[in-house]
Amino acid sequence: MSFDYVKSFKQGHAYNVWVGDLLKHFGVPKVEVPEWTMHKNHAELEEKTKNEKDIIVDDLVLEVKSSRQTFDDIFDFPFEKIIVDTVSGFEKKTVKPFAYIHVSQGGDGIFVTPVATQPHWSIATVFDAQRQLDIECYFVTKRHCRPFLELVEVLLERAADRASEV
């Protein structure tokens, strides 16, 4: 069985759109979900790894990660440690995300890892059974994650502060 990268990328983009719509639902202004396109070669893949953005809110980048785990929020996530991103993927990004948004593929669960918690991240190698390879990943403990609504509050406060500057 080979891994279907196109299907995986399309599914990932659908979660980006879902989270973008959720942010808009809560009144967050200037939410943009860039259109997804499939890379045609290795050079385009490298470029996407460096510069692709899942969601842009004003000048902040948000990265969306979906998980096969079923959860409602960070409090019932089934493991103490959460994969934030691959080490290579994070390190190659030209603009580091403001936060990672973790979404349950098995329901409507959602929570956030602020990138400001990076000093508390650890590195471990995991085996990706679908792609049949070992991947070095950043992990964070649950205590450094936040409910999604806290991110919404921060984004709304930033928007209000910017509006008052005008």
Residues in the chain: 166
Q: Reduced to 3 states, what is the DSSP secondary structure of residue 158?
A: helix
CATH topology assigned to domain 5-165: Trna Endonuclease; Chain: A, domain 1 (3.40.1350)
Distance CA 107, CA 103 (A): 8
pTM, entire model? 0.90
Tell me the per-residue pLDDT of 82-125, one tens digit each, with 9 for 90 and over: 999 999 999 999 999 999 999 999 878 999 999 999 999 999 99
Distance CA 16, CA 13 (A): 5
pLDDT at 9 over 70: no
Whether 82 and 121 have beta carbons less than 8 Å apart is answered as no
Q: Domain limits of the chain?
A: 5-165
Of 19, 66, 30, nearest in space to 155 by CA: 30
Structure confidence at residue 106 (pLDDT): 84
- Report CA Rg, the chain: 16
Distance CA 29, CA 156 (A): 8
For residues 104, 106, 109, 113, the Cα torsion angle rounded to the nearest 10 degrees is -10
Tell me the per-residue pLDDT of 14-55, one tens digit each, with 9 for 90 and over: 899 999 999 999 999 999 999 877 667 777 767 766 778 999
